[in-house]
Amino acid sequence: MTATQEVATTSTDQAAEKAEHKRAAQAAEAKVSRPSKAGGAAGAGTKPATRILVTAILALVALYFLVPVYYIVVAATKTTADLFSTNGFLFANMNLWQNLTMVFTYNDGIFVRWFLNSVLYAGVGALIATYFAAAGGYALAKYRFRGSNIVFGTILGGVLVPGTATALPLFLLFSSMGIANTYWSVLIPSLVSPFGLFLCRIYAQASVEDAVIESGRIDGASELRIFHTLALRSMTPALVTVFLFQLVGIWNNYFLPLIMLADDKLYPITLGLNNWRSQVDRLPEFYQLTTGGVLVSIIPLIAAMIVLQKYWRGGLTDGAVKG
């Protein structure tokens, strides 16, 4: 046999061997990916039912939250007479503009002051609480020091303590300090979020890589700069979550301002609206003031959710792709 024939024979054998391996791999892949007949039938039978069940549950949950919002929108458009003489879920004579005018002009525009007070309490409180939670969570996640677990456990214990249990002791403390019935008496307790710190610690452990921190140190960046430029960016979804939780919690807080404040000019919107509601027996027009005020009070929370959800969803998507 000549050298040319030997080369041709070898090439043919190699090609046949490759083809055989390819067919075996395709057969194995088809065997793995092909569902069994029983399993396929079961999946085809249960998948639509599961999907319908999940959709029905989500629809009920959405209905549970949206019905009160729809009701207050309808109620805010009615006069006091229409509020009690017509169906609560159906629009009657449109009186929304007149109701809102009453809300913003009654008692020299006291509602505007309540609204701004709530913006101060909730906005400043949520921002600072989020920053503190991020700093504390990052430190507990990335710095090793003696007693760190004890510190974290102690802070986490604050999640188990309801705010109503600490309101009276805080009032006594602030009274002795002379800051009860001031903005500080509502603002200071809002600056701490044990749940936010817990969430930020968990997220910092998962999303802020040690290699990134070390590279920043090698480049000469300070610890604060690493935290502000690298860690906070990676923790964006957790920060948005903490901010929204804290914002909603402070905005809707009623018991703490009730304990701390006596001056109606310091009231947040929750306390002010309840003050109006308590006077409906004396003056029925307070129904219109209350429903109109409630409608206005939910707008900032809806706006905050719409504005921040793109950062929330975008950050979660980035984290999923990264993982």
- The residues spanned by each domain of the chain are 106-278
Percent of the chain beyond pLDDT 70? 82
> Is residue 300 a contact partner of residue 123, using CB atoms and an 8 Å limit?
no
**Burial environment of residue 230 by CB neighbours within 10 A (0 to 12, 13 to 18, 19 or more):** middle
Residues 6 or more apart whose CB falls under 8 angstroms from that of 175 comprise: none
Rounded to whole angstroms, the Cα distance separating 158 from 162 reads 8
The helix/strand count (H/E) of the chain reads as 17, 0
Mean pLDDT of 101-111: 95
CA angle 182, 183, 187 (to 5 degrees): 130
Tens-place pLDDT, residues 26-56: 554 444 444 444 444 444 455 888 889 999 9
Alpha-carbon gap, residue 83 to 256, rounded angstroms: 31
Rg (CA), the chain: 31
Q: How many residues belong to the chain? A: 323
Residues 6 or more apart whose Cβ sits within 8 Å of residue 26: none
Q: Could you write out the three-class secondary structure of 244-299?
A: HHHHHHHHCCCHHHHHHCCCHHHCCHHHHHHHHHCCCCCCCCHHHHHHHHHHHHHH
Rounded distance between C-alpha atoms, residue 164 and residue 259, angstroms: 10
- The amino acid present at 110, given as its one-letter code, is I
Average pLDDT over residues 207-233: 91
* Dihedral sign (CA 184, 181, 242, 141): positive
The pLDDT assigned to 49 comes to 86
Rounded distance, CA 312 to CA 23, Å?
A: 47
Is the CATH code 3.30.1330.200 the one for domain 106-278?
Answer: no
Taking residues 15-34, what's their average pLDDT?
Answer: 50
Q: Predicted confidence band at 153 (pLDDT cuts at 50, 70, 90)?
A: confident
* pLDDT range class, residue 151, cuts 50, 70, 90: confident
Contact (CB, 8 A) for 270 and 257: yes
Q: Is 283 left (phi over 0), alpha (psi -120 to 50) or beta?
A: beta
Distance separating alpha carbons of residues 171 and 163, to the nearest angstrom: 12
pLDDT range class, residue 160, cuts 50, 70, 90 = confident
Q: What is the pLDDT of residue 119?
A: 97
Return all residues near 65 (Cβ < 8 A) that are at least 6 apart.
Answer: none
Give dist(CA 275, CA 200) in Å, integer: 37
User: Are 293 and 103 within 8 A, CB to CB?
Assistant: yes
- Distance CA(230)–CA(208), nearest Å, equals 8
For residues 44, 50, 52, 55, the Cα torsion angle rounded to the nearest 10 degrees is -140
Which residues 6+ apart lie within 8 Å of 287 measured at CB?
80, 83, 280
Least Cα distance to 163 among 280, 250, 240, 277 occurs for 250
Residue 176 has pLDDT above 90, yes or no: yes
